[in-house]
Structure 1
Amino acid sequence: MRQCMIHLITFFLFVSCSYSAHALVVVVGKNNPVEALSKTQVIDIYMGRYNTFPNGVVARPLDRVAGSDAKQKFYRLLVNKSEEKINAYWARLLFSGRASPPSSYATNDEMLDELRSSKQTIGYVLESEVDDSLKVVYRFEK
């Protein structure tokens, strides 16, 4: 019985570590004064409702290119919408002149470079890609 319990605990630890490494997190560069954001604040920034961080600094959200797994997962976690619905949402806002969609980056490296070089940018990456040059400001609930 004890051996079975040890195997079970080991399994759950492995699964939880595996999930954590593949979890998306919202990040800013280390020079950005923002320490944390709520899910509502992240939604407001990414959906064009607000163009500043809570401290008043201009927020420039970064996105992945259409069709990327990361982008699809991010918007599912953030607003529970498909990429097609997000694209339709941005088409309406763009047409009305109310807002512009986030800048898109083809690769993670491009996005990471931009995040590291500007205090205004905000983006999403795998938790395993976060290093000392980035700050996690929001983690999705498991």
Structure 2
Amino acid sequence: MKHCLHITLVLLLLAAAVPAAERAAGYVLVVNRNNPVNSITEQEANLIFLGKKTVWPGGHSVTIVLQEGKRIHAAFVRELLGRSPLQYATYWKKALFTGTAIPPRSLRGDSEVKSFVASNRDAVGYISPDALDTSVRALEVRK
């Protein structure tokens, strides 16, 4: 019994010691295959999904797309933006009501996001890692 407790404690300590960046993300950012941007910083990704960075390098407008009420959305909001889904929704409602921004479009599921991003050169969205295929390209997020 004591041995099991020690093993459990060691495993918990090891899990806590793994940096967040090395843990598997619950989402992957995706862009159109023709988008010339290969990677962005975490800060740039935050600014994009908060509607504060609205232009890609080269002058094209960024088009954000979200997923509706799915686990993937919760993982994305918590891991990248450090907010709860409710806080993120409130942020966009406030922006809408104050006239500072229009909330991004929300789509249902990975396939709708991939389809939208694949047909819109300047779109960026997120999908679950296992849904990534050749229709879109993963966008690397650097620290």
Please classify the TM superposition score into its range, dividing by the shorter chain length.
0.7 to 0.9
Q: Any idea what SS the aligned residue of 1:52 has?
A: coil
Runs of 4+ in 1 over 4 A off after TM superposition: none
Q: 5 Å matches for 1:96-107?
A: 96-107=98-109
Q: Any idea what SS the aligned residue of 2:40 has?
A: coil
* Residue of structure 2 equivalent to 1:44: 47
* Residue 113 of structure 2 is aligned to residue 111 of structure 1: yes
- Pick the aligned partner of 1:34 from 27, 30, 37: 37
Q: Any idea what SS the aligned residue of 1:37 has?
A: strand
Deviation for aligned residue 1:140: 7.7
TM-score (norm 2): 0.77
The answer as to whether partners of 2:35 and 2:121 remain within 8 angstroms in 1 is yes
Whole-Å separation in 2 of the counterparts to 1:44 and 1:54? 14
Q: 5 Å matches for 1:59-70?
A: 59-65=62-68, 67-70=69-72
Deviation for aligned residue 1:136: 1.3
* Residue 28 of structure 2 is aligned to residue 25 of structure 1: yes
- Deviation string, structure 1 residues 27-80 (Cα, Å, up to 9, x no partner): 101111111111111111110112112332111011011x31111110001121
* Residue of structure 2 equivalent to 1:90: 92
* Residue 55 of structure 2 is aligned to residue 57 of structure 1: no
* Residue of structure 1 equivalent to 2:11: none
Identity of aligned residues (%): 26
Stretches of structure 1 that go unaligned for 5 or more consecutive residues are 1-18
Whole-Å separation in 1 of the counterparts to 2:109 and 2:127? 11
Deviation for aligned residue 1:97: 0.8
Whole-Å separation in 2 of the counterparts to 1:132 and 1:28? 11
TM-score (norm 1): 0.77
Deviation for aligned residue 1:131: 1.7
Whole-Å separation in 1 of the counterparts to 2:121 and 2:91? 27
